[in-house]
Amino acid sequence: MSIQSVGIVGAGQMGNGIAHVFALSGYDVLLNDISEDALNRALSLIDKNMERQVQREKITAEYKAASLARIRTTTKLAELGPSDLIIEAATEREMVKQAIFEDLLPHLKPETILTSNTSSISITRLASRTDRPEKFMGFHFMNPVPVMQLVELIRGIATDEPTYKALHQVVEKLGKTAASAEDFPAFIVNRILIPMINEAVYTLYEGVGNVQSIDMALKLGANHPMGPLELADFIGLDTCLAIMNVLYDGLADTKYRPCPLLTKYVEAGWLGRKTQRGFYDYRGDTPVPTR
């Protein structure tokens, strides 16, 4: 099962990072988004991030140019059809993902592998809505994709061994490390990480500490490179809340109840760095805690 060409659905934070690492590893990449502006922003960001790698002497200017030339863009989902591998990296909403796969199906080659970069949604359920559940997997990259070494490989109940092996080889070619996870809500990383963030928000909600003291405590007390509230802002509070809801609904355990304060921030549209406000206010020269 040789994979040469990759179609990526969604040119946001994850999609552009995935396009970046695949192009650097020699794959032909077709990046899709409904917005031409999003595609242009993605190409500009990939160019900037690759230039940073040139400055650090991780790659040469010639290799950067060759890698960028391997990335094409399209607003037409059907054009991804001939790809050997498709990675869906759209919004973390199941209805959106299902609609994308349904629109793709008539245009696919029989051997095309379908994957989702979902951070929490059931792979088995997504796969069941396609014509190839045996060739469907979770392919969960960490953010920021060019920097983070881990990729979670999640098999649905129907995923066959050749599909798993093919994707394992892809991860190796990307120079990353695969962690195999079973198809349970939020898989491994987010099953552990997001409840920790939710607990940090409860600690803030209950007045045990303020934003600054909670983040400092985990950075200096647990040697975390980033405090949990700072990390939540980086991930996006809407994404954190969505994953907590998947855990709460999927496992029916009250320990996964989203903190009301997290819900309140999302209702306010304070989603973290991407909206300039979350647990910190990013509108000035330095981030200022909002609580």
* Distance spanning both ends of the chain, measured CA to CA: 52
CATH number assigned to the domain covering 191-289: 1.10.1040.10
Query: Quick check: do 5-182 and 191-289 share a fold?
Result: no
Catalytic residue among 32, 88, 116, 140: 140
Catalytic residue among 119, 120, 122, 198: 119
Place of tokens 């649905």: 156
Cα 155–Cα 159–Cα 162 angle in degrees, nearest 5: 105
Active site residue 140: yes
CATH number assigned to the domain covering 5-182: 3.40.50.720
Q: Is the pLDDT of residue 1 over 80?
A: no
**Beta carbons within 8 Å of 286's beta carbon, 6+ residues apart:** none
| Annotation: binding site for NAD(+) | 10-15, 33, 92, 97, 119, 143, 274
Mean pLDDT of all residues in 197-223: 98
| Annotation: binding site | 10-15, 33, 92, 97, 119, 143, 274
What percentage of the chain's residues is helix, strand, coil (to nearest 5)?
50, 15, 35
Active site residue 5: no
Under the phi-then-psi rule, with left for phi > 0, alpha for psi from -120 to 50, and beta for the rest, what region is 207?
A: left
**Cβ-count burial 6-15 (b if 16+ within 10 Å, e if not):** bbbbbbbbbb
Active site residue 32: no
- List pLDDT tens digits, range 139-176: 999 989 999 999 999 999 999 999 999 999 999 999 99
Q: Domain residue spans in the chain?
A: 5-182, 191-289
Task: Check: pTM over 0.75? Answer yes or no.
Answer: yes
Q: Are strands 85-88 and 150-155 parallel, antiparallel or unpaired?
A: unpaired
Active site residue 16: no
pLDDT of residue 7: 98
